[in-house]
Amino acid sequence: MKTTDYIRDKIERLPKGYVFTYEDFITEVNKKEAIIKTLNRMASIGKISKLSKGKFYKPEITTFGTLLPGQYQTVKDLLEKDGKIIGYITGYGYYNAMGLTTQVSNIIQIGKNETRPSFTRGRFKIAFIKQKNTITKQNIPLLQILDAIKYIKKIPDASTEFSVNRLKAILNDLSNQSIDKMVKLSLNYPPSVRALLGALLDAVNKNKKTEALKKSLNPITKYKLLTPKRILPTRENWNIV
């Protein structure tokens, strides 16, 4: 089969919105220049669409126009390498999925151990958050919650009171094992995160898990949140004002 025919056949079998590069074909067709040339030609005639330099996707055409790839497809190369997880979508890119805001952001924030300057890819701005903990599949949901606690004042279109109540609901649904793990992970976050986590756990009656948090904090440091005492009854015990 000719290189062009092979590439076209493989793309036909890809799901719509799937992002790919010439490397997706290089193992089967060892002709890099021919692959690049074919992909660029297909993009120029509208058979595929170009996301950014060297990245293409199979467009989904609707009555409202061409749909762009979702967040995961847009940044999947930044989340996994050689089968190993190296990053995760968090912050602005995940607040909507957590029920913290109804706003859908065009900023995708990625938590990584090693960060890099932000850049634009397609319609999204890609930004990075430094993560000091080891990133694993099991840790990611807990890290996303801790990130939301860390940046609680920056959640778009949401009051601090609403965000606190939503985080309480999320924490209330977690198992004791997950809470234990989150407390350990929080020790690599700023003290303000540990203080708010402690107050949140008190509020959902999971305060048996907070001893390590209390010991990690400076007893004279204050943390400003301006949250009503009725939703964080023990905030003063955590020096939250």
pLDDT tens digits for range 170-190 = 999 999 999 999 999 999 999
Q: Please, which residues have CB within 8 angstroms of residue 3's CB and are 6 or more apart in sequence?
A: 29, 31, 34, 35, 38
For residue 30, the model assigns a pLDDT of 66
Q: How confident is the model at residue 123 (pLDDT cuts 50, 70, 90)?
A: confident
Give per-residue pLDDT as tens, 4-19.
888 999 999 999 999 9
- What's the CA gap between 209 and 49, in Å, rounded? 50
Catalogue the E-assigned strands of 12-155.
Answer: 19-20, 49-52, 55-57, 60-62, 65-67, 80-81, 84-85, 87-90, 107-112, 119-121, 124-130
Amino acid making up residue 117:
P
Sequence ranges of the chain with CATH classification 1.10.10.10: 3-67
Q: Which fold has domain 3-67?
A: Arc Repressor Mutant, subunit A (1.10.10)
pLDDT in tens, 32-69: 888 899 999 999 998 999 999 899 999 888 888 888 89
Per DSSP bridges, beta strands 55-57 and 60-62 are unpaired
Q: Whole-structure pTM over 0.85, yes or no?
A: yes
Q: Is the pLDDT of residue 112 over 80?
A: yes
pLDDT of residue 85 exceeding 90, the answer is yes
| Residue 40 pLDDT | 94
Q: How long a stretch of residues is the chain?
A: 241
- pLDDT tens-digit series, residues 132-145: 999 999 999 999 99
Q: Is the pLDDT of residue 220 over 90?
A: yes
- Cα dihedral 127→133→139→142 (10° resolution): -70
